[in-house]
Amino acid sequence: MKEFSAAKKWLDAHEQALLDTLIAWANINSGSSNLVGLKKQAEAVVPVYESWVDDITLHSLPSYMQINEQGHKQAMEAGPLISITHQAQAKKQILLSGHIDTVFAADDAFQETNTQGNILRGPGVADMKGGLIVMYAALRALQETDAAEKLGWQIILNPDEEIGSFSSRKHLIDAAKNKDFGLVFEPALDEQGNLVGARKGSSKITLMARGKAAHAGRDFAQGANAIVAMAQVVQALHSLNGKRDGFILNVGKITGGTAINIVPDLAIVRVNIRYDNIDDLRWFKNKLDSISLHWKQKEDYDLEIQEQPSREPKPLIAGNAKLMGQVIATSAALGHNINYKATGGVSDGNILWQAGLANVDTLGVCGGGLHSDQEYMLVDSIVMRAELTAKLLYDYAHDEWKI
């Protein structure tokens, strides 16, 4: 029997190499809309796996639709998705997922990494290229033990998580089939390595108020001001906050109008809602239908609505709760006391749960400053978190716990 100590030995011996790889990956700009950078990042991931796994496939994804600032539907391209499989014939099958995209656009000022002691700063070092390194390190270290012969697994690395996983959703749902559980490598909640428990659901909605253009001086009374109409819609939407426990509606962006001497015939608002259960979503949709009907009945006005696919809530129940408990117990056995708390944030863990797969989704590195030019991670958390994942899988392979 090849003991787990062999995995820990591999991790300790490769700590600097793992950090070097993370730095190289973080120095590749792979913002969600940077197709060249996403391709480069995907191609950089392949070499660390190709010599010891069964299959690596880069999938082209379908485009997704969004409303542009002119109110027209526009097809948006997505980068490549990476699928890696190993030991597909094994009885026990695990799904591991992560994303190669970041929130930092190709022209963002935040582009390079720098290291100061135990702190590495840079775009995506925590969210989630650090998580990708943890995932790789855990699986590669496990190859040094006999658990490698007992476990099969699939990795899905998508290029669009930061913008909703619209193009990759089907791949995630398909991959969730016939897996025992899922592990997602979003960054830990904090420097202590605490985890996310329950997650709210999230939906993105775009509303377009259409009115009637007119010259503001000569024919003002002939116009129908879409911005004024949308202002009333926004007030109606915002008033829904506080009506149901845990429900959040954020009016995130408003655009509209051209020259100030023209009555505007178009206004667009983009809204994000967060909710704890599907009943809240149904309640919101009923309210939205009423608002829409009100404006559709007005002469010279119309209200169009586009809702993108939702990420449903991920409660800490059933398999999620059991898996979370095992992660915490495994961490304690390794000498690290961690806990969890609920969050309004969402991840691909929501989609996996929606597909019926229990999962824990903050197994990546420890750090903070996410989605800002202050993003950082703790260097020593690479080995610490990889050891946690490897031990979790090692024990599962040896029937020390069951899901």
Averaged pLDDT, groups of 10, the chain, 403 residues long = 91 98 98 98 98 98 93 94 98 98 98 97 98 98 97 98 97 98 98 98 97 98 98 98 97 97 98 97 97 94 94 97 98 98 97 98 98 98 98 98 95
CA 137 – CA 309 distance, rounded (Å): 33
Residue with tokens 């056995």: 333
Question: Alpha carbon 118 to chain centroid distance?
Answer: 26
Confidence (pTM): 0.95
d(CA 98, CA 102): 11
What CA dihedral angle connects 348, 351, 353 and 356, to 10 degrees? -140
Give the three-class secondary structure for 49: helix
- CA dist 368 → 82, 139, 186, 361 (Å): 26, 25, 12, 16
Tokens at residue 225, please?
Answer: 């001001």
Quickly list H helices, 63-152.
129-142
Instruction: Give the torsion sign (CA, 141, 392, 47, 86).
Output: positive
Domain boundaries, the chain: 5-200+313-397, 201-307
Residue 378's pLDDT is 98
Which of 3.30.1330.60, 3.40.50.10860, 3.40.50.720, 3.30.70.360 is the CATH number of 201-307?
3.30.70.360
Dist CA 4 CA 307 (whole Å): 48
Cα–Cα distance, 153 to 341 (Å, whole number): 28
Residue 366 CA to residue 382 CA, distance in Å, equals 8
What is residue 2's predicted lDDT score, i.e. its pLDDT?
Answer: 76
Q: Report yes or no: 289 and 212 within 8 Å, Cβ to Cβ.
A: no
Fold match flag (5-200+313-397 vs 201-307)? no
What pLDDT does residue 78 have? 97
d(C-alpha 212, C-alpha 10), whole Å: 68
What pLDDT was estimated at residue 1?
A: 59
pLDDT of residue 187: 98
Highest CATH level, class, for 5-200+313-397: alpha beta
Residue 151 class from Cβ within 10 Å (0-12 exposed, 13-18 middle, 19+ buried)?
Answer: buried
Measured CA to CA, the distance from residue 368 to residue 189 in angstroms comes to 8
Q: How far apart are CA 253 and CA 396, in angstroms?
A: 46
